[in-house]
Chain A
Amino acid sequence: MSWIDIGHIDDIPLRGARVVKTPVGCVGLFRTGEAEVFAASNSCPHKGGPLAEGIVHGQKITCPLHNWVFDLNSGEAIGEDARIATYPVRLEAGRILLDGAAVGKRSAA
């Protein structure tokens, strides 16, 4: 894994989301009601809704276009046969680290 510092946890509002542009496309960074962040594809498999614009509740995200709901742990859509890709992300001293390898970024070294 190659962890890339992409910002501070407080750059994402509580129960909010931001996107990061990556070689595999836009990745949504979803913050729950806690100091907790998930990374997943920003594109809804239904009709491409931008998930980071949706509502975060518990550890789920609701798509802003037609309300499909995804579990951010697994990426599974609830009640639909679909899932979104999820990516390793971790927090260290308030910084958000995204796994560069998983989002197609060649390592800097």
Chain B
Amino acid sequence: MTQKLIVIGAGMASGRVLEHLTDADPGAYDITLFNAEPRGNYNRIMLSPVLSGEKTYQEIVTHDDAWYAAAGVTCRFGERVVAIDTAAKTVTAETGEVLPYDKLLFGTGSNPFMIPLPGHDLDGVIAYRDLEDTERMMAMGPDNKVVVIGGGLLGLEAAAGMAARGVDVTVVHIMGHLMERQLDEAAGYLLRKSLEAKGITILCGANSKEILGENGRVRALLLEDGTELACDLLVMAVGIRPNVALAQEAGLAVGRGIHVDDQMLTSVEDVLAVGECVEHDGAVFGLVAPLYDQAKVAAATLLGQQAAFVQKSLSTKLKVTGCDLFSAGDFAEGEGREDIVFRDPGRGIYKRLVIEDDKLVGAVMYGDTADGSWFFGLIKDGTDISEMRETLIFGPAYQGGSPVDPLSAVAALPPEAEICGCNGICKSTITDAIAGGATDLGAVRATTKASASCGTCTGLVEQLLQVTLGDDFQMPAAQPMCGCTDLTHEDVRRLIKSQELKSQPAVWQELGWTTPNGCHVCRPAVNFYLLADWPLEYRDDPQSRFVNERKHANIQKDGTFSVVPRMWGGITNPTELRAIADAAEKYDVPTVKVTGGQRIDLLGVKGEDLPYIWADLNKAGLVSGHAYSKGLRTVKTCVGTDHCRFGTQDSTGLGIKLERALWGSWTPHKVKLAVSGCPRNCAEATCKDVGVVCVDSGYQVGVAGAAGMDVKETERLADVPTEQEAIDLTVAFIQLYRENAKYLDRPYKWVAKVGLDWVKARVVDDLEERARLIAAFELSQSIYRKDPWAEHAAKPAPFAPLANLELEAAE
């Protein structure tokens, strides 16, 4: 008598089992196929082309009615199996009907994971898994807004598909870059760029807080930072979980998935499982290739043949609709690895190979993926690549490749790229002038004015001369920023502005960095340039800062830290002093010192105590003094008119106002100010970065002084009659310094390069420019004028060791 086989789920895996089974022995089983979806097996992978309109549902059906009829399968589509009795060997359908089986096959797939945010059960909140979801998305048009949570493969496919229909799509992704599990930052950046070019808005590092509704329907997504994203449909594509509830209730052994052995047999006799619902040897599956191997084995097992499922190497190969992207193998985990990086900013190409023990183990590529399968083959076969290492990155067709041209970043700039910011001169104006006979720097300056003002774009102009004239131009040797690039600091600053580069991966890619993510020299500089130029779009990256700025304290030679609270204008009071004294006692601070900057330094605090001592100091109203930062340090003051018989103006008050305005801002190097109440200059204002000396007629504002490794008197920026003007000039000067100076140049070094006249023209004479500088500084301060200690004190965990293995278990 024919045995009865019942199959739960008509998915891609069980469909393959049925094909193998009926091909090999059509009469072996009397088959009944249940499916919760009201249809048979279709190619789920092709839902995205259906969504974008490139294909119809009919075209992606794998098994149609005729196929099932020919194979003799009884179809019960739109019917869920609700219970199984493994002792009696029966299944119960949704209708209550009980059917006996001889063999049972689970192919229940996965459930999309829904983040349990408030509002996740509102109408209009969907996943991306089946035809119904796809149809909901296809109903959206140009008048609709959709938010997709999840910047992985599925979320991006959903977004790209809807964008192709003209829908206004926003992708909200919690991680720092898209598809972080398959791509590195650089490739993630290029992917983002091309998706944005399709009109998709992408928010990375964005944390969803709540789904807002109206009359039971979704209205908007609320983010942790308060942003509200209006939407008519919200798609959650944040991952899948094996669908195991039914198996669990039936008493099968279940971990993350249904446990199966090498024959695809579960823990219960005569019950098999295949597909995304299984767990084999600790692994669960989310791509079809291994599922097809499982299907072959399951069919053999059902036919009483010998077969065993073997997990293949973990390599995966991925494609996102319309993006030239490739990722294979493993570029995480493991020791002894090396990178080969190739970037061609002009053509938007990025390639990175990861090599271990003379074998290729991983590859990420963007923009030119033609060699993808070749690299994939090398990874899979474990080919020894030591012979071709030098030229490996150029692919199979290319031997003896020449190194990348260091000038390629400048050559790749579009003609309208602005080279000289002072005079607004773009690339084509300069190349035209060169073509017209201006063959040296002086001639270019004379004909175009480029590089004739502050001079910081000189390096770029010289590179353009070289690119245009080739060997006819002798390039003076400029000092590149570091080993990761041939560009100087000034070149990089200029290009960040003119090319609107707003992230570190954008800088690395568009300017042709030769390392995957920079080094300790360039990263802090690039991080500063980005946050100074794009205060709203770019967020400070603590991992690109020296320890002092990351820890908000100065590291000592024994690895402890010093803590210096701010004392506005050098003024303190008994409450603050008491709080400092208490903190010093409580945390066993070995040294308490009065600094040269008119405040108190607690030296020798243990790293893990930092958040706690800050919290205590915060309670007394004390905030970080930024004694560790490339930013505003102190504003030294003297006692001024309040007490001193010679004081002409309120120097203490002005100092406090300046410190309140400037604190928290990041600058190219540290910035120190002082205000003295009269020319006796007790606050030593004439050797500061900005020093104000009060006189009867008003305020003498000096800049570019020094008293460290060099000693130099300030130069007079201007004399002004009112306190407000003294503040305005100071703020405008600091902002001009932030926008233009090379990282780690103190103001006196920077002014020596650009000239005091150039500074005066912008800060003193041009009132419009002064107002712009002040507004730009205020905008930046809307983000940075705050106490970093308070923020970190709220989250002390990262300051403690990750684990303590010193302690032995009780003996």
Interface residues, chain A, with chain B CB atoms under 8 Å away = 4, 6-7, 11-16, 18-23, 26, 29, 33-38, 47-50, 53-60, 62, 64-65, 67, 69, 72-74, 86, 90-91, 96, 98, 100, 103, 105-106, 108
Contacts and interface: CB of A to CB of B under 8 A. Distances in A.
B741 to A, nearest CB: 22
Nearest to A64: B547
A55 B338 CA distance: 18
Nearest to A61: B520
Residue among A20, A26, A57 facing the most chain B CB atoms (10 A cut-off): A57
B802 A29 contact: yes
Interface centre among A20, A53, A98 (most CB of B within 10 A): A53
18 contacts: A6-B802, A6-B805, A7-B803, A11-B798, A15-B544, A22-B805, A33-B517, A36-B331, A47-B557, A54-B520, A55-B519, A57-B519, A59-B339, A65-B557, A90-B333, A103-B805, A105-B805, A106-B808
Contacts of A35: 181, 332-333
Contact of A36 (B332, B558, B802): B332
A65 B557 CA distance: 7
Given A23-B806, A59-B337, A65-B555, A18 B517 contact: no
B184 interface: yes
A23 B336 CA distance: 25
B804 interface: yes
B802 A7 contact: yes
B332, B542, B545, B798, most chain A CB atoms within 10 A: B332
Contacts of B551: 53
Contacts of B546: 55, 64
Contact of B339 (A50, A58, A105): A58
B516 interface: yes
Contacts of B516: 33, 58
B334 interface: yes
Contact of B515 (A15, A18, A53, A57): A57
B809 interface: yes
B788 to A, nearest CB: 16
Which of B176, B544, B550, B801 has its CB near the most chain A CB atoms (within 10 A)? B801
B549 to A, nearest CB: 11
A59 B805 CA distance: 25
Interface centre among B337, B523, B805 (most CB of A within 10 A): B805
B517 A108 contact: no
Contact of A49 (B339, B542, B559): B559
Given A16-B542, A53-B555, A69-B520, 12 more contacts: A6-B803, A33-B185, A34-B332, A35-B181, A48-B557, A53-B550, A55-B520, A59-B337, A62-B519, A64-B555, A91-B333, A105-B805
A44 B33 CA distance: 65
B43 interface: no
B354 to A, nearest CB: 9
Contacts of B607: 50, 53
Contacts of A72: 335
B517 A57 contact: yes
A23 B798 CA distance: 21
Interface of B: 176, 181, 184-185, 331-339, 515-520, 523-524, 542-547, 550-551, 555, 557-559, 607, 798, 801-806, 808-809
A91 B335 CA distance: 11
B284 to A, nearest CB: 10
Contacts of A60: 519
B559 A73 contact: no
Contacts of A58: 339, 515-517, 519
A36 to B, nearest CB: 5
Given A36-B334, A86-B335, A106-B808, A15 B517 contact: yes
A105 B806 CA distance: 8
Contact of B335 (A14, A47, A48, A73): A73
A58 B338 CA distance: 9
B518 to A, nearest CB: 6
Nearest to B515: A58
B335 A38 contact: yes
A67 B520 CA distance: 8
B543 A13 contact: yes
A29 B520 CA distance: 18
Contacts of A55: 519-520, 523-524, 543-546
Nearest to A26: B801
Contact of A57 (B176, B332, B518): B518
B334 A23 contact: no
Nearest to A38: B335
Nearest to A105: B805
Task: Kindly list the 4 A-B residue pairs having the minimum CB-CB distance in the complex, ordered from nearest.
Answer: A62-B520, A53-B547, A64-B547, A6-B803
B474 to A, nearest CB: 31
Nearest to B176: A14
A86 B516 CA distance: 23
A67 B547 CA distance: 11
Contacts of B550: 53
A22 B801 CA distance: 10
A20 B804 contact: yes
Nearest to B335: A73
Contacts of A100: 805
Nearest to B283: A93
Nearest to B175: A14
Given A7-B803, A23-B805, A33 B557 contact: no
Contact of B809 (A15, A73, A108): A108
Contacts of A7: 802-803
A15 B544 CA distance: 8
Contacts of A74: 336
Contacts of B801: 18-21, 26
Interface centre among A4, A58, A90 (most CB of B within 10 A): A58
A35 B331 CA distance: 8
A90 B332 CA distance: 11
Given A55-B520, A64-B547, A34 B802 contact: no
Contacts of A59: 337-339
